A = this chain, B = another copy of it.
Amino acid sequence: MNKKVSLKDIAKAVGVSTALVSYVLNNKEKEARVGKEIAEVIRKKAAEMNYQPNQLAKSLKSGKSFTIGLILADISNPFFANIARTIEDEAKKYNYTVIFGSSDENAEKSQDLIDVLIKRQVDGFIIAPTERAEAQIENLKKAHIPFVLIDRYFPKIQTNYVITDNFGAAYQATQHLIETGFGAIGMIAYKNGLIHMKERVRGYKQALKDAAHGKSSLKEVTYEMASEEIQDKIDELINGKQKIDALFFATNTLSIHGLKYLNSKRLKVPDDVAIVCFDECDAFDFFYCPLTYVKQPLIQVGQRAVNILIDKINHPEKAEEQVSLASDFVIKRSSIKPTN
């Protein structure tokens, strides 16, 4: 059969040792003082035989795989897919390849993925960590494996991370609703201990407090049952004693589920309830009322994460870097007080 061409094959074909071939094909002719003519012959033969170096062997020898492990919650969520895309592109610039996996916000799956990728000798990780992943992250630290967290991080662990200023963005969003004149502002968030979610909630509450705007109406749903639970929560907010007239969704998926339910209840945006979303989403383009949203700088998050990771890979002694990026806030009609 058609076995793959190795250095040895070329060496045999030309009639020299593999060392010479290696030097030539790695452009180390100068240092290794390889004869000019033989170098040409080797180069020609390699091309002719369509030689492709075995990266596994190279990595084994060098201890560097030029591979980044990427662990996200779910690649089919556009938020993560866009980050993945950026990370892939950015990594390619430095000749790195990306292997990714979806954790589904599940700490065991996340650990499995980390193990698989460590066995594959990735040079480092970019991870959007799940709840209860503190131990995994501590272990990576202990093992001195470079990594950068994105989207979330653990305040108790000193790590590299690139996030967006969730508190600030949520504060701004809530403040905007207050200033626009809405009286009772509800929020729907995921029920979990992850910092990005906590910060969004904190921003919302702080904004209400600073404006002495009554007490907060926060409702939380689980990741697994979001689309069902959100319906009850919205009902409670709508029918509760402090009937809300504005609603802040903490993520794009919550927005989609929530808006669908509002549609099904024939509640009009912004007349019956004003809306602000965290993150954007293709789907928003087709909502009858243009939606106000927090626009996270996804591309910068991805690029910074890659840059910091590669820097850390090449300079393991460097101190951890923490980056918090500001979001844009895009105001559309969904959060404008209807004139009546």
Residues of A bordering B, CB below 8 Å = 1-2, 4, 52-57, 59-60, 65, 74-76, 78, 81-82, 84-85, 88-89, 92, 97-102, 115-121, 142-144, 256, 259-260, 263, 281-288, 316
Show 29 A/B contacts (Cβ-Cβ < 8 Å), sorted by A.
A52-B118, A54-B119, A54-B121, A55-B119, A55-B120, A55-B121, A57-B60, A74-B85, A75-B84, A75-B85, A76-B81, A76-B85, A78-B282, A81-B81, A85-B102, A88-B100, A89-B102, A92-B101, A97-B101, A97-B116, A97-B117, A98-B100, A99-B99, A100-B100, A256-B282, A256-B285, A281-B282, A282-B282, A283-B283
Chain B residues in 8 Å Cβ range of A118: 52
Q: By the criterion CB–CB under 8 Å, are A260 and B285 in contact?
A: yes
Closest chain B CB from A46 CB (angstroms): 14
Cross-interface CB contact of A54 among B53, B60, B88, B116, cutoff 8 Å: B60
Q: By the criterion CB–CB under 8 Å, are A282 and B285 in contact?
A: no
Chain B residues in 8 Å Cβ range of A78: 76, 78, 81, 282
Cα distance A49–B56 in the bound complex, in angstroms: 25
Q: By the criterion CB–CB under 8 Å, are B283 and A119 in contact?
A: no
The 5 A-B pairs of least Cβ separation, nearest first, read A286-B286, A76-B85, A55-B119, A283-B283, A286-B287
- Most central of A97, A98, A120, A287 by chain B CB within 10 Å: A120
Closest to A5 in B: B143
Chain B residues in 8 Å Cβ range of A102: 85, 88-89
Query: Given that A76-B78, A119-B55, A285-B260 are known contacts, is A144 also in contact with B2, CB under 8 Å in the complex?
Result: yes
Query: Given that A56-B65, A286-B286 are known contacts, is A101 also in contact with B115, CB under 8 Å in the complex?
Result: no
Cα distance A2–B282 in the bound complex, in angstroms: 46
Chain B residues in 8 Å Cβ range of A88: 75, 100-102
Q: By the criterion CB–CB under 8 Å, are B99 and A143 in contact?
A: no
Cα distance A144–B288 in the bound complex, in angstroms: 53
Q: A2-B142, A75-B85, A98-B99 are in contact. List 5 more A-B contacts (CB 8 A).
A: A2-B144, A55-B121, A75-B81, A256-B285, A283-B285
Chain B residues in 8 Å Cβ range of A75: 75, 81, 84-85, 88
Closest to A60 in B: B56
Closest chain B CB from A58 CB (angstroms): 8
